[in-house]
Amino acid sequence: MTDNACGSCTACCRVYSISEIGKPAGQWCEHCAVGKGCKIYEKRPWKCVEFECLWLHSQHGGFGNPMPDEMRPDRCKVVFSPLDDTFIALCMPGSPDAWRKGAGRKVVDWLVGNGYRVLAGLPGAPTKTFIDRFCEREVHVGEPDETGKIRLTPTGGRYANAMTDDIVERVREMGLQQVWVDSRGCPHCGAKDGPAWIGDSVWHYCAKHRVKWLAGWDLTHVVDKVEQERRYKELGLGGFEHIRRDEVEALAVQVEKAAADNRLADLMRQLEMKDH
């Protein structure tokens, strides 16, 4: 924190909780000269000494090239810090959506594109958003139980990745519980016709190259195969090649696995130390 390379950034002195000095998450530390640095630099808590956000890490040569100025936490309003293969993205209070747009979003997309997961939201907020290559879902962060474990519960509703706005709207209207969405275009030309809704699933297709792919579905409903075939024909998609089946099936397995294992709970237990 407030390393020379941080310049006038002091964002982490706001977002994190520091139990050693009774500093709550999301509030400026009483020792912080905002935009200047730490007033007790020589005696600052150990957590402050060892902390290095993603941006600072990049200035010190980590992660390839130094990240540009616009991505400095005080500018993009998000402090990214790593936890295994997940990055915690804490937004500055007053900018709860900073990770969704501008430089903050560029960082999220870059991380996700490189295989990391991101958990984003306001410091100490009970609801955060979990983002990986396949999905984006809101999760509720529970209180620790007697063993210190924190339960993460998907809060329902949005559960999709890189969806177009119209689909997001549609998903909301339909009140779907869990939807996986593949928003990529045709592998031949990049076009994306549709979406076509069939039962509880949504499809995109390329009329020119006669391919279709499952863009998303509601996991809480069983797909009616007969109805699906009937609708394909009705929509003229019957003879189209169904692509990306393998990926979708692998994804379904992963969804179930993610629900079953306690990875996120472990993550949140660690997060708790940093963020509450």
Report the run of H or E that residue 272 belongs to, with start and end.
helix 263-275
Cβ pair 80, 107 in contact under 8 A: yes
3-state SS track over 135-166: CEEEEEEEEECCCCCEEEEEEEEEECCCCCHH
111: enclosing H helix or E strand = helix 102-113
What is the CA 86 to chain-centroid distance, rounded? 9
Cα–Cα distance for residue pair 274/245, rounded to 1 Å: 40
Of these partners, Zn ion, ligand SF4, none, which one is at the site of residue 12 (CB under 5 to 8 Å by kind)? ligand SF4
Among 25, 26, 48, 118, binds ligand SF4 (CB under 6 A): 48
* 237 belongs to the binding site for ligand SF4 (CB under 6 A): no
Comparison of 32 and 135: residue with beta carbon closer to ligand SF4? 32
Q: Is 71 in the site for Zn ion (CB under 5 A)?
A: no
For the bound state, the minimum distance from the C-beta of residue 86 to ligand SF4, rounded and expressed in Å, comes to 18
- Tell me, rounded to whole angstroms, the distance of Cα 97 from its chain centroid: 12
Q: How far is the CB of 110 from ligand SF4 (least distance, A)?
A: 17
Query: At 205, which helix (H) or strand (E)?
Result: strand 201-206
Check residue 125 for interaction with ligand SF4 (CB under 6 A): no
According to the binding rule CB under 5 A, does residue 209 interact with Zn ion?
A: yes
Choose the one of Zn ion, ligand SF4, none that binds residue 9, judging by a C-beta under 5 to 8 angstroms depending on kind.
ligand SF4
Residue 210 touching Zn ion (CB under 5 A): no
Binding segment toward ligand SF4, per CB under 6 A, in 48-56, 137-145, 190-198, 252-260:
48-56
Q: Which residues of 190-226 are buried (b: 16+ CB within 10 A; e: fewer)?
A: eebebbbbbbbbbbbbbeeeebbbbbbbbbeeeeeee
Looking at 29-37, 127-135, 197-205, 225-233, which segment touches ligand SF4 (CB under 6 A)? 29-37
Partnered with residue 82 across adjacent β-strands are: 87
Q: Interaction with Zn ion in 176-205: which residues (CB under 5 A)?
A: 186, 188-189, 191
CB of 5 to ligand SF4, least distance (A): 7
Return the number of the residue (37 or 154) whose C-beta is nearest ligand SF4. 37
Q: Which of residues 5-24 bind ligand SF4 (CB under 6 A)?
A: 6, 9-13, 18
Give dist(CA 37, CA 172) in Å, integer: 44
Binding interface with Zn ion (CB under 5 A): 186, 188-189, 191, 206, 208-209
